[in-house]
Structure 1
């Protein structure tokens, strides 16, 4: 089996059998079976996901990460390897990330068997990137405590750039992602006696208006921030004053100070509801993903690895505004994350991430493995 056959086989199997965050049981079993076939030791610090390790000849320990979970999306691609699970799809390319890392594992094992693996390598098959913060869960579980990891590298497919192009950026490359939720509780009454109630409908209108003005009036207009209202509702019946209200949304920013401004303003909005409408209101923030920070000290490894793999580098002037839980690895070691172009207009592989028609050519996964291998093989040389 050549490498194109290898990546095609594994990627399409994973694509047909997607699993949601923290439920990647079959996916984990599939990867474990692959590792067993090659005699590679691995650990399962969490219920899903795997950490594998191969000792090399050098003194450096480098980690490479792939995410393994899928999304609750019904696939619309009419392909032989279409998802077999209704309303679950690898719509973010994690099947590709996983397969590329599997190919890299295979190459590293061949080098280890020949006594030529240049450095120690940790392979991270991480669960729950989409939701659940799998990277943070692994770190908190002590999954990497026994490995003296110096650096962590990862990739993401990018359908907005053509094949052969890779987007990089030092420092922040993706935004923080923080969820917020407003809970309102008032007093119901019949519409005929509406003045006796405390309307969450009226209060929610106030919250929506004020949240919608945060970006315009409280954040620097030259910075890219998103304060998004994703879902809201109020009321119970057509002829009663609403006694309950709810709003949820997400905040995206790459400046921690901006995030604090948004959260502080939301707290003030929550406090104002009781004063204005006699309605109880609280706002809660779910722990989000911090901005993904690419350590500038690793740029030389990335540039050398991409150029040696005949991949064109595109320096992005501003970060992407979506979240990515690769960001947690920077708490463990310097890290660097890049976006590998997979756009192919002739084949119609042009739709974005998290869409029902995302697709790409498997041969690009070989290029990702090439990039990983170049980082590994030149790490000592570039590091020095």
Structure 2
């Protein structure tokens, strides 16, 4: 017995991961597949490296949106799979290859078995960065085809295949990148008094930044500042003139995000004065929280529990970031976790999702679209 066609598609896509707004091979692959489907019931538009496909309903009164992301990550794959990444230093380490194959499965079924309402399939680039959802929402084609509701999924390595997880309300956090550059005065290691050492300044800055969460955020609320990169210095006997830091901020409220950023700026101002240096700050890409529409999320949970053999788990909110939050900000919608039972987690070089989850996800999304798309408004 041969592979499920959408498992085969997933493996093809797994080989060609591309970074945000560079998904040229991916877009071409997707468009080539779409050309194999009956064209009389769908309209196809491209936006940058993304694709929008509108499947025409039999007697539409609304538009249902389904979104998938299509980009990969800058990670060297270590899975040992036969269909491993062919792009050096890049990998589908967040499951977007599964997301796309599931979306194609749902789209194919919807074209061959149309519902009453229109269904818009959104293949969105640059979810991992620099962020594709917000500019895509503002595009002319999206404005013309704006759905009345929208949903999406994200693989979850920690849940078994056959489980989906979601909750009403807040699901994923507000996130912001963090880039900090310190510039002082370099010099000989033997004459520190003639220099302004940015290793020392950066050490003080890192320590003080870690007090923000413990001393400025309500202990009953949640926020995170993580610094993942620190680079500085050129030799052991040279005082470092420049240090570069990169990190991320995560909060469960807009108010806390603004408070954390204000404290970062206050601390930086103090470090500049105390260590006689200049510091530049850039927040990079910022993602809005994913907030699941209460009514739609509850309806989906009840529908899946009653009409499929999937196990529905009501989960807690997570500090994960997802730019689908911009879509749930502007359109009533929800996102759910799809169990894929992988030993290794998201963004890991050995992530290896169980492909049996693909068929489960297609079935769940198809049945919900049939229910929602044939339901009178």
Give the match's secondary structure for 1:238: coil
Q: Does 1:350 align with 2:343?
A: yes
1:374 corresponding residue in structure 2: 367
Q: What value does the CA root-mean-square deviation take over the aligned residues?
A: 1.9
Q: Distance in 1 between matches of 2:199 and 2:5?
A: 57
- Indicate if the aligned counterparts of 1:305 and 1:371 stay in contact, CA closer than 8 A: no
Distance in 2 (CA, whole Å) between partners of 1:332 and 1:274 is 40
1:131 is aligned to 129
Q: Deviations over 1:61-114 (max 9, x none)?
A: 0110111111122222223222222222111111111001101111111123xx
Q: Could you say if the C-alpha distance between residues 197 and 134 of structure 1 is closer, same or farther in structure 2, counting changes exceeding 3 Å?
A: same
Q: CA deviation at 1:118?
A: 2.1
The counterpart of 1:240, out of the listed 213, 238, 242, is: 238
Q: How does 1:179-194 map to 2 (within 5 A)?
A: 179-194=177-192
SS in 1 for 2:82: coil
Q: Secondary structure at the residue paired with 1:145?
A: helix
Shift of 1:380: 5.8
Determine the structure 2 residue equivalent to 1:313: 312
2:14–2:83 Cα contact (<8 Å) kept? yes
SS of the equivalent of 1:152 reads strand
Given the two structures, how large is their TM-score scaled by the length of structure 1? 0.91
Instruction: Tell me which residue corresponds to 2:253.
Output: 255
Q: 1:84 aligns with which of 83, 86, 89?
A: 86
Please list every run of 5 or more consecutive structure 2 residues that lacks an aligned counterpart in the other structure.
none
User: For 1:325-364, what aligned pairs fall within 5 Å after superposition?
Assistant: 325-343=323-341, 349-364=342-357
Could you say if the C-alpha distance between residues 127 and 305 of structure 1 is closer, same or farther in structure 2, counting changes exceeding 3 Å?
Answer: farther
Match of 1:8 in 2: 7
Report the 3-state secondary structure (helix = DSSP H, G, I; strand = E; otherwise coil) of the residue aligned with 1:260: helix
Contact 1:119 1:376 in 2 (8 A): no
Shift in CA distance, 16/240, structure 1 to aligned 2, threshold 3 Å: closer
2:217 corresponding residue in structure 1 = 219
* Deviation (angstroms), 1:245: 2.2
What's the counterpart of residue 322 of structure 2?
324
Normalising by structure 2, we get a TM-score of 0.93
**Secondary structure of the residue that 2:158 maps to in structure 1?**
strand
* Map of 2:148 onto structure 1: 150
- Structure 1 gaps, min length 5: 344-348
Shift of 1:148: 4.1
Q: Is the Cα–Cα contact under 8 Å of residues 118 and 376 in structure 1 kept in the other structure?
A: no
Whole-angstrom CA distance in 1 between matches of 2:16 and 2:358 = 19
Q: 1:335 to 1:354 in 2, by over 3 A?
A: same
Equivalent pair of 2:291/2:329 in contact (CA under 8 Å): no
Aligned to 1:43: 45
